[in-house]
Amino acid sequence: MLVMRLMGKRQLGQMQISELISAFLVSEIASAPITNRDFTVRQAFISMTAILILEIALPFLTMKIPFFRKILDGSPSYLIYNGKLRLKSVKKAREYALSNVSPAAVCGWLVWALR
């Protein structure tokens, strides 16, 4: 709970996949000294602190440095561009059915196509 509060999240649904993985890692590391005598509390604290620092630093880097944003967040794939369905992008995104594309985009495409 403390880690979620430090990350500024109130609910599990607000977490991104990387944050959820970090939360699982922190909980696993926190329980390691209890279950494994070879793993000390100091090692657990250092590991949890490193994960927490990375979890705070990476969003900051993606916000400030465009290069990191492109690597970590990726770039959008336009399925419909200038009113035309881009089949190459649809196949690349593995969205083979138009039912998976947002209804607003499909309506806009149909209205444009029927003009």
The 10s digit of each residue's pLDDT in 9-43 is: 666 666 677 777 888 888 888 888 888 888 899 99
pLDDT at 46: 93
pTM of the model: 0.55
- pLDDT beyond 60 at 97: no
Residues 54 and 68 sit within 8 Å (Cβ to Cβ): no
- Residue 81 pairs in a beta bridge with 84
Residues contacting 41, CB < 8 A, separation 6+ = 33
pLDDT at 106: 56
**DSSP helix/strand/coil, 39:** coil
For the chain, where are the E strands, in sequence order? 80-81, 84-85
Shortest CA distance to 15 belongs to which of 31, 28, 29, 1? 1
